[in-house]
Amino acid sequence: MPVGESSGRTRPDACPGALQVHEAADGPLARVRLPGGAVSAAQLRVLAGCAAELGTGVIELTSRANVQVRGLRAPEVFAGRIAAAGLLPSPAHERVRNILASPLGGRGPDGLLDVLAMADALDRALCARPRLAALPGRFLFALDDGTRDVAGLGADVTYVATGRLLLAGADTGLTVAPDAAVPLMIDAAEAFLDELSPDGPRAWRIRDLPDGPARIATRLRAGEPSLIDAANAPDAPEAPDAPEAPEAPEAPETPAAANIAAAADAPPAPVSARRPSAGRIAQRDGRVAIEALVPLGRLTSGQAGALADLGRPVRLTPWRTVVLPDLSPGEADRTERALAAAGLATDPDSPWAGVTACTGRPGCAKALADVRADARQWVRSLGRAPATPVHWAGCERRCGLPRGPVRQLIATINGYEERQE
C-alpha cells in the first residue's frame, strides 16, 4: 500500500498564522511560527505581554513547537508587535515556516549535528524563495540531530544527521552531506509544488499525493541534488561558541562522508513515540539542559514572563515542553527553583507528564466539555505520572491526539467515553 493516498480535499489549507487569524469560539486566534522551537528571552517577553494585554492571558504551545494566542482583541496590533520582535521575517511566508528540530541541537549524548543552526539556515532559505510562500500551512520540515526524537513525527521533509532524507516519514534511500541538506530540503518542497495538479484534489502534505514520497524522490534524483554547487546554497550560521567547561568529554565529530554513504545501505530504525519528560539532561560538554513540563501545554503570561526573566534562550518542543540548555550545575539549581516557583514541573514523575488535552470549551464551538478544567481536576488526584499517556478530547475529532499508545477520554453528550489505542 503506498505511503501517500489521494486526500480528496476540495478547499485550500486554512491554517492560521500571525496575519491570517482563525475566528475561534473565544475570538481571533493567531499562530506564530518559531522555526526549531527557538525563542529568545526578549521575544518571549513580547509574547507574554501580547497574551496579557491583547488576548486571554495564555500562550498555547503546539505540537510543532509553535505558539498560539487566543481571544485577540486587536489582531493587527498583535501582528505589529511580533513583527517588531523579529518573529515575522517574511509576511508572505509566515504560515509556511514550519520547522521542527531536535531541541538539544546535538548537545545530548547521541547528538551528532547542530541542527538548530541548520533550522535557522533552512528558515532563511525558505523565506528567500517567493514561490515557496505557496506551500500549504500544514507542510512540515524536520531536522533530527541523530537522537531520532523528531525523525518519527511524520514531517513532510526530514533530514537525519546520519545523512538520510525522509519524505512523509518514509525512507527514500537518499543521502546527503550536512552542508547540502538545506538546499536538498528546499528542492523537496519545490518538487512537492511541482507535483500538485491545478485540476485535481488539493494536497496539503506529501502523504496526500498518491505515492507521494516516491514521486518527490524521483524528482530529486533527476536533479542530482548531491551536486548542488555549495556557492549557490544558503550559508548556515556557525554555532555560537560555548563557554568552556572543566574536563568536558570530547564531542563526536560530524558524520563523515563515509559514514553517510554507509547509512544508505541501512534504513533508519523504527522510532518510538516520545512522551513529554522533565528534568536534567547531561550535555556532552559537561553542562546540563533542563526540560520542564508545561501543564496541558498552556503558559500563562506570568509563566512566560518568568521564563523570560531567566534571560536565556528557550527551546519549545513538539511535546509541549520547554528546554533551557547550556547551564552549569549551579545555574541549573537556580533555574529549577525558578521554574518550580512559576508552576512548571521539572520532576520526571510529575502527574502532568503525558497528560494532554484539546482546546475544549469555551474556545472550541464543537467541544462538548471544558476538557482542560476536567483534566486539571483529574491530575490533582494523581500522585505520579500515569503509566500510559492520557489525552482528553472535547469531541470525536480528538484534536491534538499524541502518537503511540494513548488512553483517550472523549467527551460525549453522556459524559466521557474511554478508549485505548
**Residue 278, CA distances (Å) to 38, 142, 311 in order:** 18, 22, 20
Residue tagged 523570560 (cell numbers) = 308
Residues with Cβ within 8 Å of residue 216, at least 6 apart in sequence: 167, 172, 188, 191, 192, 195, 206, 209
Average pLDDT, the chain: 87
Domains of the chain: 355-420 (3.30.413.10)
Report yes or no: 179 and 233 within 8 Å, Cβ to Cβ. Answer: yes
- Of the listed ranges 44-58, 65-79, 230-244, the one predicted with least confidence: 230-244
Q: Residue 298 is placed in which grid cell?
A: 498552556
Separation of alpha carbons 234 and 124, rounded Å: 8
Separation of alpha carbons 181 and 120, rounded Å: 13
Report yes or no: 371 and 364 within 8 Å, Cβ to Cβ. Answer: no
- Percentage of residues in the chain with pLDDT exceeding 70? 85
In terms of Cα–Cα distance, which of 173, 167, 186 is closest to 228? 186
Peptide bond into 325 cis (omega under 30): no
Is the confidence at residue 139, as pLDDT, over 60? yes
pLDDT at 198: 79
In terms of Cα–Cα distance, which of 334, 333, 343 is closest to 322? 343
pLDDT classification of 12: cutoffs 50, 70, 90 = low
Report yes or no: 161 and 104 within 8 Å, Cβ to Cβ. Answer: no
Average pLDDT over residues 409-421: 93
- How do residues 108-120 score in pLDDT, each as one tens digit? 999 999 999 999 9
Task: Provide the 3-class DSSP secondary structure of residue 59.
Answer: strand
Q: Which residue has the higher pLDDT, 226 or 199?
A: 199
Average pLDDT over residues 150-161: 96
Report yes or no: 412 and 393 within 8 Å, Cβ to Cβ. Answer: no
**Residue 109, CA distances (Å) to 278, 345, 355 in order:** 17, 23, 27
Residue tagged 554547487 (cell numbers) = 229
- How do residues 165-189 score in pLDDT, each as one tens digit? 999 999 988 999 999 999 999 999 9
pLDDT classification of 200: cutoffs 50, 70, 90 = low
Q: Which helix (H) or strand (E) holds 103?
A: none
Q: Exposed/middle/buried for 234, CB within 10 Å: 0-12, 13-18, 19+?
A: middle
Separation of alpha carbons 9 and 208, rounded Å: 9
pLDDT at 299: 97
Q: Residue 253 is placed in which grid cell?
A: 565529530
Angle at 396 between CA 390 and CA 400, to 5 degrees: 50
Q: Residue 183 is placed in which grid cell?
A: 538546499
Average pLDDT over residues 218-241: 53
Quote the crossing angle between the two packed helices 181-195 and 212-222, to the nearest 10°: 120
Average pLDDT over residues 132-147: 96
Is the confidence at residue 260, as pLDDT, over 90? no
